Structure 1
Amino acid sequence: MDSSLAGTARSDQEVLAGYRPPSQLVLDKEIDRIDRHCAAFIGLSPFATLSTAGADGWPETSPRGGDPGFVRVLDEQHLALPDRTGNNRVDSLRRLAENPRAALLFFVPGAEETLKVFGTTSLAGPDDLGVDLTEFGRAPRSVLVIEVTRAYFQCGKAVMRSGLWDPSTHVDRSTMTPFGEVLREHCRLETPLPDDATIRAELAQEL
């Protein structure tokens, strides 16, 4: 912490004491399974974030996406998350091999509410579940099976504040540094990379 702030710092518990208790409704909305409402939301979701933590405790969050319903509801206690072609770092899967606890946050375009799902995981081969998980003409490299321990819908305040689904808030990419330039600097490359249109076209071929 900046030394200039040391004299004004309060303990974590002092800060937390400033929050009012959650309502009973907020507490009661948590369930221990994927019910029909959760299943319907997951079936409409083309995007989710996967949060993990390794044995060292450091967290990581990774985006996951596909056609709506790309995360498959197997039954009330189990989800199947196919692992598609990526950068092959497999950071999330390596962490889950050390610590199988995970959390998923599901988004549905146009809906302010999100869905949180928590559980423990195991890794399966693409054909182990007897379910066709082919997408974009390709089978997954592996499948993450989540055994659900709890789930609940998050209210829409954060998405409403962000204007996430409002087209008028979308950023013009021309105002951003080209991604190829960002990569070149971060990777300390001497030669330039292709322009962003070429990079996106190449990525689209690997979906």
Structure 2
Amino acid sequence: MLFIIPGLEETLRINGKACIVQDEDLLERMQAFGKKPVLGIGVEVEECFMHCAKAFKRSQLWDAGSWPKKESLPVAAKIIADHVNIQGITSEEVAKSLKETYEKRLY
């Protein structure tokens, strides 16, 4: 797992074994906006490293001025529609579904 915090150039990397967690008491403590997760992911940490900021500094990841213009980026809905390749599913339908999901089912 790689943990990044916007604006912080150093990262935290954790290596280990993951498992599915169904413990009700633990899941209850993880709720957000009144919604309790159905499952969780537990990680048995075997190694933990801080990584220096060289890659983020070189890539200018946190410098919005270095980002490509939004118009030049691929459209996620088209990528998904092309990837699933189900006849009759258009990128417009995927975009509508994504918007509805983000607005009504985020939590």
Residue 158 of structure 1 aligns to a residue in which SS? helix
Structure 1 residue 105 and structure 2 residue 2: aligned?
yes
Contact 1:126 1:139 in 2 (8 A): no
Deviations 1:3-37 (A, max 9, x none): xxxxxxxxxxxxxxxxxxxxxxxxxxxxxxxxxxx
| Aligned positions, number | 104
> d(CA) in 2 for partners of 1:195 and 1:173?
21
Name the SS for the 1:129 alignment partner: helix
The structure that is helix-richer by fraction is 2
Which 4+ runs in 1 deviate beyond 3 A?
Answer: 195-200
Q: Give ranges in structure 2 of 5+ residues lacking alignment.
A: none
Among 31, 42, 48, which residue is 1:151 paired with? 48
3-state DSSP class of the match of 1:164?
coil
Higher RCO (CA-CA < 8 Å; seq separation 6+):
2
TM-score w.r.t. length of structure 2: 0.76
Match of residue 166, structure 1, among 45, 63, 67: 63
Q: How does 1:47-196 map to 2 (within 5 A)?
A: 104-129=1-26, 132-188=29-85, 189-194=87-92
How far apart, CA to CA, are the structure 2 residues paired with 1:187 and 1:131? Answer: 34
Distance 2:99 2:88 in 1: 23
Alpha-carbon separation, structure 1, partners of 2:39 and 2:27: 13
173 and 195 in structure 1: CA distance in 2 versus 1, 3 angstrom threshold: farther
1:197/1:174 CA distance change after superposition, 3 Å: farther
Q: Kindly indicate whether residue 88 of structure 2 is the aligned counterpart of residue 206 of structure 1.
A: no
Per-residue deviation, 1:140? 1.1
Q: Distance in 1 between matches of 2:99 and 2:27?
A: 33
Q: Which SS does the other structure have where 2:20 is aligned?
A: strand
Deviation of 1:111 after TM superposition, in Å, equals 0.8
Matched residue SS, 1:183: helix
> Measured at CA, do residues 198 and 119 of structure 1 come closer, stay the same or move farther in structure 2, by a change above 3 Å?
same
Identity of aligned residues (%): 27
Name stretches of at least 5 consecutive residues in structure 1 with no aligned partner. 1-103
TM-superposed CA distance for 1:126, in Å, is 4.9
CA–CA separation in structure 2 for the residues paired with 1:106 and 1:184: 29
Tell me the distance in 2 between the aligned counterparts of 1:120 and 1:177. 34
TM-score (normalised: structure 1): 0.43
